[in-house]
Chain A
């Protein structure tokens, strides 16, 4: 079965640079979520999109922005990178059947961002 695709899988950037992470959800999934997982930590919710509209916002810094496109893929744009942004960034997708809490989020393999 098709899974969530994330690219790139690994990314190395310098401080103050910008980065763009891409996410391709499972076909027919209409909701995309972004999470940040620091070393030894649990995933922290950043932001989500439903049908190309922002649906929930978590602890996403102002330096980050995201959007979902007409083909449902999503991009997380990160500017003025800091050392503390080094983390594993997950994208997850689900199919929201009227917003029921049964909707499982399926995670992609993650993008490991290292800021030097």
Chain B
């Protein structure tokens, strides 16, 4: 069975600071993908970043980077230089090669303080 765990229900960060959102996963499938999505209060789900299980380097997309530690089964999202617009719910998700659906964590609510 696949499982995603996000242990931080809520996080606060000062504007312009960096913040790390934790995500651990569990799967026995050797081939999988890890994703982060942002959900603002308006409700839409915005794709941020992707990491493949065979990727050697950590993924980066602008101010977003994914700290992938395969042995620890963790895929933490790092947001650098936080902005007020980063305040949102953040979901970690996983897809395994043998299936199409995404498994989501319970999310982390991030609040950026001016």
The complex places the Cα of A113 from the Cα of B114 at a distance, in Å, of: 34
- For chain B, the count of residues having a C-beta within 8 Å of the partner chain is 26
Find out whether the CB atom of A99 lies under 8 angstroms from the CB atom of B101: no
The complex places the Cα of A100 from the Cα of B5 at a distance, in Å, of: 23
Find out whether the CB atom of B106 lies under 8 angstroms from the CB atom of A88: no
The complex places the Cα of A45 from the Cα of B2 at a distance, in Å, of: 13
Find out whether the CB atom of A42 lies under 8 angstroms from the CB atom of B106: yes
Q: List chain B positions with a Cβ less than 8 A from chain A.
A: 31-33, 35, 37, 43-47, 50, 52-53, 91, 95-97, 99-107
Q: Can you name 5 A-B pairs with beta carbons within 8 Å? A: A33-B100, A42-B91, A56-B99, A101-B52, A102-B52
**Which of A62-70, A75-83, A104-112 is the interface stretch?**
A104-112
Q: Taking the nearest CB of chain A, how far is it from the CB of B8, in angstroms?
A: 14
* Total number of residue pairs linking A and B with CB closer than 8 Å: 69
- For chain A, the count of residues having a C-beta within 8 Å of the partner chain is 30
Q: Do A55 and B45 form a contact, CB below 8 Å, given A42-B106, A42-B107, A102-B33?
A: no
Contact of B101 among A41, A48, A96, A106 (CB under 8 A): A48
Q: List chain A positions with a Cβ less than 8 A from chain B.
A: 31, 33, 35, 41-45, 48, 50, 55-56, 58, 88, 90, 92, 96, 99-110, 112
Find out whether the CB atom of A45 lies under 8 angstroms from the CB atom of B101: yes
Contacts of A99 in B (CB 8 A): 97, 100
Contact of A104 among B31, B35, B103 (CB under 8 A): B35
Q: Do A107 and B37 form a contact, CB below 8 Å, given A101-B52, A101-B53?
A: yes
Name the residue among B46, B50, B104 with the largest chain A CB count within 10 angstroms. B104
Find out whether the CB atom of A101 lies under 8 angstroms from the CB atom of B95: yes
The complex places the Cα of A109 from the Cα of B100 at a distance, in Å, of: 20
Find out whether the CB atom of A107 lies under 8 angstroms from the CB atom of B33: no
Q: Do A107 and B44 form a contact, CB below 8 Å, given A43-B91, A101-B31?
A: yes
